[in-house]
Structure 1
Amino acid sequence: MLLDTALTATVPLQTLPTGAELVDTFVIPALTFLVGFLAIYFLGKTVLTPVVRRVLDSKGFDSSVKSLADSIMGVVVWVLALTVALTLAGFGGFIAALGVFGGAVALAVGFAAQDLLGNFVAGIFILKDKPFQVGDWIEVNDISGRVQDIDLRVTRVKTFDNELVTVPNGDLANNALTNPVAFDKLRQKFVFGIGYDDDIEQAKDAILQEANDHEEILADPAPDIRVTELGDSAVGLQTRFWIDEPSRGDFVRVRSDLVQAVKERFDAEGIDMPYPHTQLTGGIDVEGIQTASATPSDD
């Protein structure tokens, strides 16, 4: 009897939590979390996301960038609502630990995918700055062709040999790129060579007349010719002319038409179009060499 009394006195009996304690421990934090999450999520969707969309509209961003921004803002709003709700519910320590873990994961992913992220960022700037558009003829490094598609990571170019080249956007953003059709006019140059004995003014008049007679060569700005080369066998006349609403097909065809017309005109007027040639002069001395015949040996 005394032993039972001592055990009762030294070991306290475990009591079940009361209703008020349950409310304070579980119900109120759960309600706080729920209300905080819904409030922040609603504000983000109705205020923050539309503001970002209006800013992108005012800056003239492409629809692909705006669609991407909507997706990113959806994730940001969700994470923000979850973070605020957990903090209000009293789980700040959990948020801190999650932040450290997330930072480490983000750092590792960033190092592993830095080229991919660089192409991704370059794609955003290409869609924003619009150095070229779908359908444009571009030249970069050794690639020349028409843009088929602009993605956030790569740009697809169809070459004039009917090949599809996938170019990372980082290469387009970090290298000099030529867009010959960016404006409504394009100037082209071609050097015609005439002989040193030919009349330069006569040749100029013939070239200008053929250029002015071509329907697709603009009269304003007018074609012009300059003597630019004194070569080994010819005098170079650089002819410059403009075409309207250029495309590569138009440029190649118009230049070909002009070169053929000038060649035929020069032939008709007796103007020489010399080509490089090499003439050897001098003589060759040939000396006879007497070779002693071998004496057969007696075995």
Structure 2
Amino acid sequence: MYAVTSTVAALALQIDAGAVVARLGGYATNVLGFVLGFVLTYLLGKLILLPLARRVLNRRGFDRTVQSLADSVLAALVVVLAISIGFMAAGFPRFLTAVATLGGAFALAIGFAAQDLIGNFVAGVFIIKDKPFEVGDWIEWNDNAGRVEDIDLRVSRVRTFDNERVTVPNGELANNAITNPVAYDTLRQKFVFGIGYDDDIDHATDCILEEAEAVDGILSDPAPSVRVTELGDSAVGLQSRFWIDEPDRGDFVRVRSEYVQAVKERFDEEGIDMPYVHRQLTGEVEVLESVAGDVAGSVDTQAATDGTGDGD
């Protein structure tokens, strides 16, 4: 009886040992499959996908900031893909499906919570790529104006001409019209000078053109021009159009100010009137007796009070 029991126990131990070995072998196979799948996918992404993406972005002329961001995102995607392939090679597709579902739900929640932030990042990428403006440019948008100091992926920083720094979300700049007065080598400016109806238009035009030619900073080609653009209530409007070379905010303000001042002084010398709007009232003015009496009484009272004060 004892011999039979010993034999059964030995067989059981052999069976358990075989099962353990088989299970360990299965685990080893799973681990090996995960390692092989992860390593191969990671190496393919790191050695082929990332360099190829960098080359494509460089050929397309993307900024270094965009290239760095794309490189980081692709590197993270390569790691995620390598882990996924590793789990598939290890024979755990259900685990991978569960992780993917959880990750998708998490990404959806983050997307709803940070949609403005993500939108600003996307807008920043397009601003850096399309270059509607660059650092140092003078831009105008939504009744704001200033010089661009910095362009990041999320925000751009603009220094206004009142020496204030404005941090603008890139989404606002990407979704609104932006004026870049210094995008080209020249900038055309306009100013309307008003002269009297009795003044000689041709003579005033000659004065405006001569002063434009004398101001340093106004181009002779294209040449300045003057056109009659309006007949106002009290003046004839002569619009002067002139071009500035290599425009800058400081140069623009200086040249415009010098030019307008020179024309005003020339008009004064030539006797050309620059009328302003005024109103002339005609008719009779009637004062009611009751109102006149109240006013007279108030004046007498004030005079008596002043006299009493002087006596003290």
Amino acid corresponding to residue 273 of structure 2 in structure 1: D
Structure 1 segment 139-288 matched on structure 2, within 5 A = 139-288=140-289
1:142 Cα shift? 2.2
In 1, are the aligned partners of 2:139 and 2:146 still within 8 Å (CA)? yes
The residue correspondences of 1:73-152 to structure 2 (distance < 5 A) are 73-152=74-153
Structure 1 residues not aligned, in runs of 5+: 292-299
Q: Secondary structure at the match of 1:190?
A: strand
CA contact (8 A) 2:216 2:255 kept: no
What is the CA-CA distance between 1:288 and the residue it aligns to? 3.4
Instruction: Report the secondary structure of 1:149's partner residue.
Output: strand
Letter in 2 for 1:260: Q
> Whole-Å Cα distance in 1 between the matches of residues 169 and 56 of structure 2?
27
Give the Cα separation in 2 of the matches to 1:148 and 1:90: 54
| Separation in structure 2 between the aligned mates of residue 81 and residue 267 of structure 1, nearest angstrom | 82
Identity %: 64
Aligned 1:55-74 pairs, distance under 5 A? 55-74=56-75
Task: Find the aligned partners of 1:239 and 1:85 in 2 and give their Cα distance.
Answer: 73
Report which stretch shifted further, 26-35 or 134-143.
Answer: 26-35
- In the alignment, is the contact (CA less than 8 A) between 2:217 and 2:244 conserved in 1? yes
Cα deviation digits, residues 12-34 of structure 1 (max 9, x gap): 87723457514531112212211
| Structure-1 separation of matches of 2:170 and 2:290 | 71
Deviation at 1:107, TM superposition (A): 0.7
Distance 2:216 2:250 in 1: 16
Match of 1:52 in 2: 53
Letter aligned with residue 99 of structure 2: L
Match of 1:71, as an amino acid? Answer: S
Supply the distance in 1 between the matched residues of 2:101 and 2:287 (Cα, whole angstroms). Answer: 91
SS of the aligned residue for 1:16 comes to: helix
Q: What is the CA-CA distance between 1:286 and the residue it aligns to? A: 3.4
> Whole-Å Cα distance in 1 between the matches of residues 288 and 122 of structure 2?
76
Aligned counterpart, 2:26? 25
TM-superposed CA distance for 1:229, in Å, is 1.2
Q: Tell me by how many angstroms 1:280 deviates.
A: 1.0
C-alpha contact (below 8 Å) 2:35/2:86 kept by paired residues: yes
- Cα distance in 2 for partners of 1:84, 1:280 equals 91
Residue type at the aligned position of 2:213: N
User: Please, what TM-score do these two structures have when normalized by structure 2?
Assistant: 0.87
Q: Give the match's secondary structure for 1:237.
A: strand
1:297 corresponds in structure 2 to none
1:67 aligned partner, one-letter code: S
In the alignment, the residues of structure 1 paired with residue 289 and residue 70 of structure 2 have an alpha-carbon distance, to the nearest angstrom, of 90
Shift of 1:287: 4.7
Q: Secondary structure at the match of 2:289?
A: coil
- For 2:269 and 2:61, locate their aligned partners in 1 and report how far apart those are by CA, in whole Å: 57
**Which 10-residue stretch deviates more, 52-61 or 191-200?**
52-61
> Could you tell which deviates more after superposition, 17-26 or 205-214?
17-26
Query: What is the rounded CA distance, in whole Å, between the counterparts of 1:124 and 1:219 in structure 2?
Result: 40
Q: Deviations over 1:181-234 (max 9, x none)?
A: 011110000000111111000000000001011221111111001111111111
Runs of 4+ in 1 over 6 A off after TM superposition: none
Equivalents in 1 of 2:218, 2:226: separation in Å?
A: 14
Amino acid paired to 1:77: V
Query: Number of residues paired by the alignment?
Result: 285
After superposition, the Cα gap between the structure-2 partners of 1:91 and 1:197, relative to the gap in structure 1 and judged at 3 Å, is same
Q: In 1, are the aligned partners of 2:218 and 2:244 still within 8 Å (CA)?
A: yes
Q: Once the 2 structures are TM-superposed, how far is the Cα of residue 91 of structure 1 from its aligned partner?
A: 1.0
RMSD: 2.0
TM-score, scaled to structure 1 = 0.91
Letter in 2 for 1:208: L
Equivalent position of 1:37 in the other structure: 38
Q: Deviations over 1:102-136 (max 9, x none)?
A: 01101111110111111111111101110000000
